Amino acid sequence: MWSNKVDRKDGKLAMAHLYVAFIALLLGGLAGLLQVLVRTGEFQLPGNIGYYQILTVHGVLLALVLTTFFIIGFQFAGLSRTAGTLSSGVRKAGWIGFWLMTIGTAITATFILLNEASVLYTFYAPLQAHPGFYIGLTLVVVGSWVSGFGMFTHYSKWKKTNKGKVTPLLSFMVIINMVMWLVATLGVAAAMLVQFLPWSLGFVDTIDVLVSRTLFWYFGHPLVYFWLLPAYMVWYVIIPKIIGGKIFSDALARLSFILFLLFSIPVGFHHQLTEPGIDPTWKFIQVALTFMVVIPSLMTAFSLFATFELYGRSKGATGLFGWFKKLPWGDARFFAPFVGMLFFIPAGAGGLVNASHQLNQVVHNTIWVTGHFHLTLATSVILTFFGIAYWLIPHLTGRVMTKAMNKLAIVQTIVWSVGMFFMSSAMHVAGLLGAPRRSSFSTYGDAPQALEWIPYQMFQAIGGSILFLGIILILIIVINLSFFAPKGETDFPIGETAEQAEKTPAIFENWKLWIGVTIALILFAYTVPFIDMIQNAPPGSKGFKFW
Ligand code: HEM
Ligand SMILES: [Cu+2]
Q: Is 120 in the pocket of ligand 1 (CB under 6 A)?
A: yes
Name the pLDDT band for 504 (thresholds 50, 70, 90).
confident
pLDDT for position 215: 97
pLDDT at residue 72 is higher than 60: yes
Question: Residue 372: nearest ligand to its CA?
Answer: 1
d(CA 526, CA 13): 38
Cα(185) to ligand 2 centroid in Å equals 15
Cα(162) to ligand 2 centroid in Å equals 37
pLDDT for position 506: 85
3-state secondary structure of 497: strand
Please state, in angstroms and as integers, the Cα–Cα distance from residue 305 to each residue in 58, 240, 247, 353, following that order.
34, 10, 11, 25
Question: Residue 218: nearest ligand to its CA?
Answer: 2
Question: Mean pLDDT lowest for which of 219-233, 293-307, 492-506?
Answer: 492-506
Residue 165, Cβ neighbours under 10 Å: how many? 9
pLDDT for position 519: 96
Q: What is the CA radius of gyration of the chain?
A: 23
Say if residues 434 and 369 touch (Cβ distance below 8 Å).
no
Say if residues 393 and 478 touch (Cβ distance below 8 Å).
yes
**Which of 54, 119, 221, 374 to mutate for ligand 1's pocket (most ligand atoms within 8 Å of CB)?**
374
Name the pLDDT band for 45 (thresholds 50, 70, 90).
very high
Q: Nearest C-alpha to atom 34 of ligand 1 is from which residue?
A: 59
List, in order, residues 6 or more apart from 501 with CB less than 8 Å away. Answer: 247, 248, 249, 250, 251
pLDDT for position 3: 61
Nearest residue to 178 via CA among 106, 233, 250: 233
Q: In this structure, what DSSP letter does residue 380 have? A: I
Cα(342) to ligand 1 centroid in Å equals 20
d(CA 121, CA 24): 14
Q: Nearest C-alpha to atom 13 of ligand 1 is from which residue?
A: 438
Cα(509) to ligand 1 centroid in Å equals 38
Cα(310) to ligand 2 centroid in Å equals 34
The one-letter code for the residue type at 418 is: V
Q: Is 55 in the pocket of ligand 1 (CB under 6 A)?
A: yes
List, in order, residues 6 or more apart from 49 with CB less than 8 Å away. Answer: none
pLDDT at residue 1 is higher than 60: no
Across residues 457-468, what is the average pLDDT? 97
Name the pLDDT band for 2 (thresholds 50, 70, 90).
very low
Which residues have a catalytic role annotated? 221, 225, 372-374, 437-438
Q: Nearest C-alpha to atom 1 of ligand 1 is from which residue?
A: 468
For the chain, the average pLDDT equals 95
Q: What is the pLDDT of residues 314-369, one digit of tens each?
A: 888 888 888 988 899 999 999 999 999 999 999 999 999 999 999 999 999 999 99
Across residues 197-206, what is the average pLDDT? 97
Cα(503) to ligand 2 centroid in Å equals 33
pLDDT at residue 94 is higher than 90: yes
d(CA 398, CA 118): 42
Q: What is the pLDDT of residues 291-300, one digit of tens each?
A: 999 999 999 9
pLDDT at residue 51 is higher than 80: yes
CA of residue 15 relative to chain centroid, distance: 19
The one-letter code for the residue type at 258 is: I
Q: Nearest C-alpha to atom 25 of ligand 1 is from which residue?
A: 378
Residue 208, Cβ neighbours under 10 Å: how many? 20
**Which of 58, 223, 366 to mutate for ligand 1's pocket (most ligand atoms within 8 Å of CB)?**
58
Question: Residue 226: nearest ligand to its CA?
Answer: 2
Q: Is 62 in the pocket of ligand 1 (CB under 6 A)?
A: yes
Say if residues 323 and 311 touch (Cβ distance below 8 Å).
yes
Q: Please, which residues bridge with residue 366 across strands?
A: 436
Across residues 158-179, what is the average pLDDT? 95
Nearest residue to 395 via CA among 10, 1, 123: 10
Q: What is the pLDDT of residues 511-530, one digit of tens each?
A: 999 999 999 999 999 999 99
Q: Is 375 in the pocket of ligand 1 (CB under 6 A)?
A: no
3-state secondary structure of 237: helix
Please state, in angstroms and as integers, the Cα–Cα distance from residue 75 to each residue in 219, 286, 303, 305, 342, following that order.
20, 30, 22, 25, 24
Name the pLDDT band for 130 (thresholds 50, 70, 90).
very high
Q: Could you write out the three-class secondary structure of 304-343?
A: HHHHHHHHHHHCCCCCCCHHHHHCCCCCHHHHHHHHHHHH
Q: Nearest C-alpha to atom 37 of ligand 1 is from which residue?
A: 59
Q: Is 369 in the pocket of ligand 1 (CB under 6 A)?
A: no
Say if residues 93 and 144 touch (Cβ distance below 8 Å).
no
**Percent of residues, the chain, with pLDDT higher than 70:** 99
Say if residues 420 and 454 touch (Cβ distance below 8 Å).
no
Across residues 251-255, what is the average pLDDT? 94
Q: Is 100 in the pocket of ligand 1 (CB under 6 A)?
A: no
d(CA 176, CA 28): 29
d(CA 435, CA 255): 40
Q: Is the peptide bond before 538 cis (omega within 30 degrees of 0)?
A: no
Q: What is the pLDDT of residues 385-433, one digit of tens each?
A: 999 999 999 999 999 999 999 999 999 999 999 999 999 999 999 999 9
Q: Is 213 in the pocket of ligand 1 (CB under 6 A)?
A: no
Reported pTM: 0.96
